[in-house]
Amino acid sequence: MEPFSERAPSMTNDSATASVTVVDMAGQAIVVAALEPTRERAWETLTRYTQSEALRRHALAVEASVGAYAREFGEDEERWRVVALLHDFDYEIHPTLDEHPQDGAPILREEGWPEDVIEAILSHAEHLAMPRDTLLKKTLFACDELSGFVHACALVRPTGLEGLEPKSVKKKLKQPSFAAGVHRDEVYRGAEELGVELDDHIRTVVAALQPIARELGLPAGAPA
Ligand SMILES: [Fe+2]
Ligand SMILES: [Fe+2]
Indicate yes or no: pTM above 0.75: yes
Closest ligand by atom to 104 CA? 1
35 alpha carbon – ligand 1 mean position (Å): 23
Residue 74: pLDDT above 50? yes
pLDDT, tens digit (0-9, with 9 covering 90-100), for 168-223: 999 999 999 999 999 999 999 999 999 999 999 999 999 999 999 999 999 987 55
Please name which of 89, 87, 118 lies closest in space to residue 22, comparing C-alpha atoms: 118
13 alpha carbon – ligand 1 mean position (Å): 31
187 alpha carbon – ligand 1 mean position (Å): 14
Closest ligand by atom to 143 CA? 2
130 alpha carbon – ligand 1 mean position (Å): 13
101 alpha carbon – ligand 1 mean position (Å): 6
pLDDT, tens digit (0-9, with 9 covering 90-100), for 41-54: 999 999 999 999 99
Output the pLDDT for position 91: 98
pLDDT, tens digit (0-9, with 9 covering 90-100), for 94-150: 999 999 999 999 999 999 999 999 999 999 999 999 999 999 999 999 999 999 999
d(CA 57, CA 35): 24
175 alpha carbon – ligand 2 mean position (Å): 21
Rg over CA atoms, the chain: 18
**Neighbouring C-alpha atoms within 13 Å toward the C-beta of 136:** 22
Closest ligand by atom to 65 CA? 2
213 alpha carbon – ligand 1 mean position (Å): 22
The DSSP letter of residue 131 is: -
114 alpha carbon – ligand 2 mean position (Å): 20
d(CA 175, CA 151): 16
